[in-house]
Amino acid sequence: MRKTLVIMLILALVSCAGTTEKNPCKNPEYAKVMKEKARADISRNDFYAALEDTLSAKKCNPKDPEVYYLLGQIYWKWQERDKAKENFTQAIKYNPDYPEAYLALGDMFLQENNLDSALLNYQKAANDDRFPEAFLAWNNIGWIYLQQDRLADAEQALMRSISRAPNFCVAYCNLGEIRSKQKRYEEAIKELKKAIQLCPNLARAHRLLGLEYNRMGKTREACAEFELARKNADPESDEEKSATQYLKLLNCPTANK
């Protein structure tokens, strides 16, 4: 669908080429086409082409917030974090109601473990009821509150995430961890099983479920979950290392595999 749209827009440009060869921005569709091309470039990880197309659109309207959001995405993919933040911030300057930019900034600050700045940006993204990905912001708000041991606030945020995206497994996983901290262990198991039902490869949910089974003295079930956690975790990640540690502590049959 997107490819078809890009082709149609390009054809529209070609039809007007005679009057816009020296200044393509005179064609009102030109910047739109360049941004659509840039989004397509980003989706296939062609960031150099995306940068070229985005800068072409920027020439037509240097105050277009979407241009800066696209630039932020490109620089973030290149791990040029300062440039990415600068462009996301510029996008918000020209459009203070830009939830995608707030969400992106929140993610960047979260990666840096700057929880206060991440929380501030997530809250601005989450409070836009028109934003289709508000559930991601609410989940991340819940996770931050969970790290701060603000369990009631975390639960409320996660329930908002789930209400917007009932099949979002990560929110159930986070909610399961909250239930465990609240010593509501049966409910914790229920939420973690729901997370695994939705996302069978979610390593963290398997590890947390393994902890619940271990708490109950169900060693065989715990070993099975820790093995699934190790299998599905990213290699050399903290998740994999934690699962391996528990496999060894419980003398699970697969501990040394």
Query: What's the CA gap between 111 and 106, in Å, rounded?
Result: 9
Q: What share of the chain is helix, strand, coil (3-state, %, to 5)?
A: 75, 0, 25
CATH number at 209 reads 1.25.40.10
Closest CA to 214 of 238, 253, 249: 249
Q: Is 235 left (phi over 0), alpha (psi -120 to 50) or beta?
A: beta
The pLDDT score that the predictor gives to residue 28 is: 84
Cβ within 8 Å of residue 172, ≥6 positions away: 162, 191, 192, 194, 195, 198, 205
Query: What's the CA gap between 141 and 207, in Å, rounded?
Result: 22
Run of H or E including 187: helix 185-198
Count, in order, helices (H) and strands (E) of the chain. Answer: 15, 0
The pLDDT score that the predictor gives to residue 23 is: 85
The pLDDT score that the predictor gives to residue 19 is: 46
Tens-digit pLDDT profile for residues 211-234: 999 999 999 999 999 999 999 999
Q: Is residue 138 in some structural domain?
A: no
Closest CA to 72 of 89, 56, 84: 84
Q: Report the SS3 class of residue 57.
A: helix
The low-confidence residues of the chain, meaning pLDDT below 50, are 2, 5-6, 10, 13-20
Q: Is residue 225 in some structural domain?
A: yes
Helices (H), 44-150: 47-60, 65-77, 81-94, 99-111, 115-126, 134-147
Query: Residue 61's Cα: distance from chain center in Å?
Result: 29
Number of domains in the chain: 1
Cβ within 8 Å of residue 233, ≥6 positions away: 203, 239, 240, 243
Query: What CA–CA distances, in Å, run from 53 to 30, 63, 67, 159, 173?
Result: 10, 16, 10, 40, 40
Q: Is residue 248 in some structural domain?
A: yes
Domain of 207 in residue numbering reads as 167-256
pTM (2 d.p.): 0.88
The pLDDT score that the predictor gives to residue 176 is: 99
The pLDDT score that the predictor gives to residue 158 is: 99
Q: Is residue 238 in some structural domain?
A: yes
Structure tokens at 6: 């890009």
Q: Is residue 56 in some structural domain?
A: no
The pLDDT score that the predictor gives to residue 4 is: 53
Q: Is residue 43 in some structural domain?
A: no
Question: How many residues are there in the chain?
Answer: 257
The pLDDT score that the predictor gives to residue 219 is: 97
The pLDDT score that the predictor gives to residue 163 is: 98
The pLDDT score that the predictor gives to residue 101 is: 98
Q: Is residue 83 in some structural domain?
A: no
Run of H or E including 151: helix 151-164
Structure tokens at 142: 């819940």
Q: Is residue 5 in some structural domain?
A: no
